Amino acid sequence: MKDRIFIEELSVFAQIGVYDWEQKIKQKLIFDIEMLWDCGLAARTDELKYCLNYAEVCDFILDYVQSKPFLLIERVAVEVAEQLQAKFGIQGLRLKLSKPGAVAQARNVGIIIERGTL
């Protein structure tokens, strides 16, 4: 089974950064996520309750990342991945977290993590 639900360029404004000035502002983070999910039952029944609801996943990420301050993007990425696996029963995922404003000379910087089997 290789089915995946994906989310591209989910933007959230977060209190994120290691410097004092960064904790006084909000900065944009962008999530790109692929989540392993067997879509067979949802496809056969056409019922929302059997799918991995990408809208619910997005709402959860927005609430979680806006709920508290973070220093490192590593912490955001790993915590969100662990929360998604536990809350939604996702066996495997790939999560890319971008902080596009962090380095003026770079178009983008960030982290990519994988958990479970993909």
Ligand X SMILES: Nc1nc2c(c(=O)[nH]1)N=C([C@H](O)[C@@H](O)CO)CN2
Active site residues: 99
Nearest residue (CB) to ligand X, 73 versus 81 = 73
With binding defined as CB under 6 A, does residue 72 bind ligand X? yes
Per DSSP bridges, beta strands 27-36 and 110-115 are unpaired
Per DSSP bridges, beta strands 93-98 and 4-14 are unpaired
Neighbour-count burial of 81, counting CB atoms closer than 10 A to its CB (0-12 exposed, 13-18 middle, 19+ buried): buried
What residues numbered 88-117 form the site for ligand X, per CB under 6 A?
99, 102
Q: Shortest distance, CB of residue 92 to ligand X, whole angstroms?
A: 23
Nearest residue (CB) to ligand X, 41 versus 109 = 109
Residue position matching structure tokens 């006084």: 24
- Binding residues for ligand X, rule: CB under 6 A, are 17-19, 22, 72-74, 99, 102
